Every structure is written in structure tokens, then in C-alpha cells.
Homo-oligomer: A and B are copies of this chain.
Amino acid sequence: MAVYTHISAEALERFLADYDVGALRSAKGIAEGVENSNYLVETETGRFILTLYEKRVDLADLPFFLDLKAHLSNQGLPVPRPIPDRTGTALRTLAGRPACLIEFLPGVSPDTPNPAQCEAVGRALGDLHRAAETFTGSRPNDLGLSGWRPLAERCGESLETITPGLRAAIFAELDILERDWPTGLERSIIHADLFPDNVLMLGDRVTGLIDFYFACTDIRAYDLAITHASWVFDPDGARFHPDRSAALVKGYEAAHGLTPEERAALPLLARGASMRFLLTRAWDWLNTPADALVTRKDPLAFRRRLDFYRDHGAEAFAR
């Protein structure tokens, strides 16, 4: 992120002295994530990510996120493990902020995923849902179906400044989503934000599933829909890649399986996923000055996906 909490080398050395990780060798603030400050820390025994939670993260949610990461890591998933200090505590305080030392995982995020990478991420998502079955925690999804209309109303007339007609289109779509949203599908812990930049890969292999700060309890297949919307289009949403789409769903089905009801619901769930990112991006767009140093992400990239799923969703998810 642009401004991060500065941690002096001396303070970091004192902090690390409570862990069995050896002496500090290097620490670099990394420009990753917009919610937290992150350092890439090297000690005599390895590399770690040190995360300091800034004000955008609800502190009450932190134990859920950290417990979930620990659980998934213990289940063998490539999820960064929170490192406990010598007293067994993973959630600490540093420079007045909640802080956690976290396992470093290798890998890079693909900008232009190929079908083999999409299949691998589909499998990884299926594995994640399987491993999450034994996790006892839960967290409501405040960016789920019931949150969309209030968010659209808070954006209000300003939506028209993004593009004329956007406001009416959003509310018409909300009517349909609220009327048709499936009620009988299995619920699960979901990642809820498994975009390519939250996946680390080496070649076609998934080496890291990261950034669980939107994880929550919701319809399990909705997570596949979010992943689909973020992996099988060009970033601007203008081009759909059928080979990526087929590979992603195939990978998920191989690892976890999809019921006929889940498969049938995917087009609508994907419209919902597009709505979620359209609305949060619209909100950020309207509340970020155009000349801010933070890059504003184009909300219309997800309106294009929404239109695609509405017009071609049935074909896109057909076997």
C-alpha cells in the first residue's frame, strides 16, 4: 500500500525475539494489499510475511481469518500459516497495531492465466472447500446478496457519473438477483476473493492461496462463480475465454464435485459475483479522488462480465 506503518529494525528485532525464528537478516516493506502493511522479513531460519492490520480491517474478524489460515495450512493446503510466538500466540501487537508473522510462500500471480493454470486454481478451490468442511468458525458475508442493495443506494445518483444508465441497470439487475437467488444450495466457508493476484503459482502449479480477508460463510458454488469471473476474462471484461472457463470448472469438479443444482445456478451466481465487484469498485471509484496515488479499478470491467453472464451464462457453464 502507499503509506505503511514504519517499523524500525530495532523494534522488529525485539518483536522477533519472542519467536523461534532466529535473528533478523532483512526486512523490506512490500507494496501489496491495500488494507494492511506488509513486510517481507528474512531471519536466520527462513522468510516470513509480517502483516500489520490497518484500520480498514475489523479487528474482531482477525481471529477468524488467522484460525482459518492455520486450519487450511494444517490440512495440507498451500495457505500461509500464521506463526505462533513461543507462548503459542499468533496475533500480536506491534507499533500499536495488530500484527501477525505469517509463512512466506513462493510463486507469482499470473496476469494472463492459461487453461492449465485455470484448471489448477479450480482444483485448489475445490480442495479449499473440502478442507474447510472441518473448520468450525463462521463469519457472515457483509458483501453478499443482502449487502448489495444498500451499497447501491449509498452510491446513489453518482453512479450516473460513471456511465449514464448505470444506476437503472444496477437496480433492475438487483430485482432479478433478489428474486431468483438460490436458497437450497450448500453453504461453506468461501474465500470470496480468489482473483489471480491472490493466487501464487510456479508454472501451472498453485503454490499459494493468499489474502483471506474477505473469507466468510456463503453459498459454496458462489465462490466458484467469483473465481470464474476473475480468471476467465481479460481484466477489462471485454473478452471471455471459453478454454479457461471449461478448465476452471473441470478442475473444481475433479477436486470437489458440483451438484446438478449448483451447476444450474452458476450463471446467476456469476451475475451476483459480477454485481458484488461492480458495486464495491463503483463505491471506491466514487470515493477516490481521480488524482489520488491509489489506482482506481474500473467498475465497468464487471458490468461487462455481468452483461456477458446475463446473455451467455447458460452456454458459458454448459458441459
Contacts and interface: CB of A to CB of B under 8 A. Distances in A.
A112 to B, nearest CB: 6
Nearest to A29: B31
A202 B44 CA distance: 11
Contacts of A111: 8-11
A16 to B, nearest CB: 11
B25 A293 contact: no
A12 B108 contact: yes
B107 A26 contact: yes
A204 B9 CA distance: 13
B112 A10 contact: yes
A32 interface: yes
B106 A42 contact: yes
A156 to B, nearest CB: 25
Nearest to A8: B111
12 contacts: A3-B293, A9-B110, A25-B202, A26-B106, A26-B107, A28-B28, A28-B30, A28-B32, A28-B40, A30-B30, A30-B31, A293-B294
A111 B28 CA distance: 14
Given A2-B2, A9-B111, A26-B200, 18 more contacts: A2-B3, A2-B293, A3-B293, A3-B295, A4-B31, A8-B112, A9-B109, A10-B112, A23-B202, A25-B106, A25-B107, A25-B108, A29-B31, A29-B32, A30-B40, A31-B31, A42-B106, A292-B293
- What are the 8 closest A-B residue pairs judged by CB atoms, nearest first? A8-B111, A9-B108, A29-B31, A2-B2, A2-B293, A28-B30, A25-B106, A26-B106
Interface in A1-44: 2-4, 8-13, 23-32, 40, 42
Contacts of A31: 4, 28-31
Nearest to A11: B111
